Amino acid sequence: MFLVMGANAQKASSTQVVSIQTNGTCQSCKNKIEQGLAYEKGVKDVSYDLATAIVKVTYNAGKTDVAKLRLAINKLGFTADGQKPETEKKDDCHHKKEEKHSCKEGDGHKH
């Protein structure tokens, strides 16, 4: 029984929280980031604050790390703590190399 309790305590202590600066600026970006990261291995919770452009990720450090989370954000087409994505994504709201973007009307921000 002691081993089971010890294993559970170790798992609980491996939970980490990280804040990553990104460049999504509309509700479509927020949804894409939150939904995309939610499926990453080890991610327990994701919340993206449009006002600060910071995504807060709660994750299991035994299953993933900050570098993998940044890469996952890049794969979604967004910057992650200044790290730019390798390819530009083409969707309703896409981010160009110079950090500007174009969105459809009703995405939740001013044009």
Query: Which parts of the chain register pLDDT below 70?
Result: 1-13, 87-111
Spatial CA neighbour of 91 closest among 29, 9, 15: 29
Is the whole-model pTM more than 0.75? no
* Radius of gyration over every alpha carbon of the chain, rounded to an integer in angstroms: 16
- pLDDT of 4 reads 47
- pLDDT of 86 reads 82
CA distance 46 to 53: 13
- pLDDT of 16 reads 96
- Which domains are present in the chain? 14-82 (3.30.70.100)
- pLDDT of 47 reads 97
